[in-house]
Amino acid sequence: MVGEHLLEVKNLKTTFLTEMGSVVAVDGMSLHVDYGETLGLVGESGCGKSVTAESIMRLLDERTTKYEGEILFKGQDLLSLPEKKMVDIRGNEIAMIFQDAMTSLNPVYTIGNQIVETILTHQKVSKKEAYEKAIEMLRLTGIPSPEKRILEYPHEISGGMRQRVMIAMALSCKPSLLIADEPTTALDVTIQAQILDVINELKKELNMGVIMITHDLGVVAEVCTRVAVMYLGQVIEEAPVDNIFTNSLHPYTKGLLKSIPKIEGDRNKKLYTIEGIVPSLHNIPKGCRFAPRCSFADEQCRTQSPVLKETDGGHKVRCWHYEKIGQMEEKIDVTATS
Return d(Cα 140, Cα 160) in angstroms, integer: 15
Q: CA torsion angle for 248, 241, 161, 113 (degrees, to 10)?
A: 110
Using CB under 8 A as the criterion, what x/- string covers residues 230-269 for binding other proteins? ----------------------------------------
Q: Which stretch binds other proteins (CB under 8 A): 30-38, 191-199, 259-267, 314-322?
A: 191-199
Comparing CB distances to other proteins, the nearer of 186 and 301 is 186
Return d(Cα 185, Cα 181) in angstroms, integer: 9
- Binding of residue 63 to other proteins (CB under 8 A): yes
> Judged by CB under 8 A, which of 91, 183, 251, 306 binds other proteins?
91
Long-range contacts of the stretch 248-254 (C-beta < 8 A, 24+): 249/311, 249/315, 249/317, 249/319, 249/322, 249/325, 249/326, 250/290, 250/317, 250/318, 250/319, 250/322, 251/290, 251/294, 251/295, 251/296, 251/319, 251/325, 252/290, 252/293, 252/294, 253/229
> Judged by CB under 8 A, which of 39, 51, 198, 223 binds other proteins?
198
- Binding of residue 57 to other proteins (CB under 8 A): yes
- Binding of residue 159 to other proteins (CB under 8 A): no
Residue 111 beta carbon to other proteins: minimum distance, rounded to whole angstroms: 12
Residue 42 beta carbon to other proteins: minimum distance, rounded to whole angstroms: 21
- Binding of residue 188 to other proteins (CB under 8 A): no
Q: Which stretch binds other proteins (CB under 8 A): 14-22, 143-151, 259-267, 306-314?
A: 143-151
Residue 118 beta carbon to other proteins: minimum distance, rounded to whole angstroms: 5
- Binding of residue 62 to other proteins (CB under 8 A): no
Residue 34 beta carbon to other proteins: minimum distance, rounded to whole angstroms: 21
**Residues making contact with other proteins (CB under 8 A):** 57, 59, 63, 87-92, 94-98, 100, 103-109, 117-118, 121-122, 128, 131-132, 135-136, 139-142, 147-148, 151, 166, 169-170, 173, 179, 194, 197-198, 201-202, 205
